[in-house]
Amino acid sequence: MAPCEQLALAVNRVPFLRPLEKFRVMDLCPTARDFAGLSRRDLEEILRRRFDDPGWPSQAYLKGAEADRKGLTRGQFQCTFYWNREFPPQLREVYDPPVVLYYRGNLPGWSQPLVAIVGTRHPTGQARECSYALAFELGTAGLTTVSGLARGIDAEAHRGSSDAGSRTIAVLGNGIDRIFPYSSREVGHRLLSAGGVLVSEYPPGDPPLARHFPARNRIISGLVRTVVVVQAPLRSGALITADYALEQGRDLLVHRVGISGERGAGSRRLAEQGAEIIDGVAEILTGWGWSAGTHPEEKKSAALPRSLEPGGELARLLEMEMAGCVVYRSGRAFEREINGK
């Protein structure tokens, strides 16, 4: 493991550092020795804010990083860093990307657009069935779904995708070594067996603290092209994901099944504020410029995120546009069919 990677594991273990602050500390303390010699006062001067946490056990963070390294060596979990090729490029584009993504399972290739399915932990029976059906249909179309593994809408989405034999991604709000909540353990194991993956920015041993879940939601939306809120009351965490989706330039949709009643009050508000109401997968694909029945492998570049792509992708798009192979509609890039191909 490169020294910068071990340092990143240590910095990522500091619980009171914000994502962008972790990058700042790594810039100014490029080695583990620099990090170990950093005082609390130095840290506050670097970041220009005071910390409520009274401790600064830098050696403990370095020991934790060493334990993480051993876990990686033993194959208990894996990780990818912001600068690695395996790190999702769409997640690099968000305002506050994670330094490290730990994972268990198989990361996708990131060439296809992903869909997040989110909603309340206490859905109606109809909304529960809808979440499962939506993910199952996406899975049979060869598309990967993303959710948070919470009970209710999230768990049904993972279950539907796995039952379709497709990959699904669960973003955790706790350490990668633990599947939480307990009620979703069976779903988590099934998605791994189906070729899916558990991901988290939190190192092994980190508990599922309340403050972790809003931060987790920015990763759910950051990974995807489209966020679908199936059903959400007014105080649902899914609305936080919806806010992140809008900030990150992702498509935000609400399902018609979940906009009525008290449990759908949050979804209804999103619709009133302009979120498109959908009835199924067809409208998602139409929004991407995909025709019905088109397999994802045939349209890899049909629906690129509206936010900036990595430099190589931008250059490729420019070449395709000059050749007349790409057109833009509402900020999205669509690949033309040339001579029926």
In sequence order, which residues have a C-beta less than 8 Å from that of residue 287 and are 6 or more positions away? 226, 251, 253, 276
Q: What whole-number distance in Å separates Cα of residue 41 and Cα of residue 50? A: 9
Q: Would 340 be classed as within a structural domain?
A: no
Side-chain half-sphere CA neighbours of 175 within 13 A: 15
The answer, as to whether pTM is greater than 0.75, is: yes
CATH number (domain holding residue 225)? 3.40.50.450
User: Does 153 share its domain with 247?
Assistant: yes
For 104, phi then psi, to 5°, come to -130, 125
Token pair, residue 241, equals 């994901």
Pairing mode, strands 226-231 and 251-255: parallel
User: Does 245 share its domain with 148?
Assistant: yes
User: Does 129 share its domain with 278?
Assistant: yes
- Domain total for the chain? 3
**Tens digits of residue pLDDT in 282-339:** 999 999 999 756 666 554 444 433 333 333 444 444 445 445 454 333 333 434 333 3
Kindly write down the DSSP assignment for every residue of 293-326, as one continuous string: T--GGG-TTSS--SSPPPHHHHHHHHHHHHTT-E
Of 49, 76, 103, the residue that ends a domain is 76
Q: What whole-number distance in Å separates Cα of residue 79 and Cα of residue 92? A: 15
Q: What is the pLDDT of residue 311?
A: 38
Domain that holds residue 39: 3-76
Of 18, 52, 76, the residue that ends a domain is 76
Task: With cut-offs at 50, 70 and 90, classify the pLDDT of residue 168.
Answer: very high
**Tens digits of residue pLDDT in 187-234:** 999 999 999 999 999 999 999 999 999 999 999 999 999 999 999 999
Q: Would 89 be classed as within a structural domain?
A: no
User: Does 260 share its domain with 323?
Assistant: no
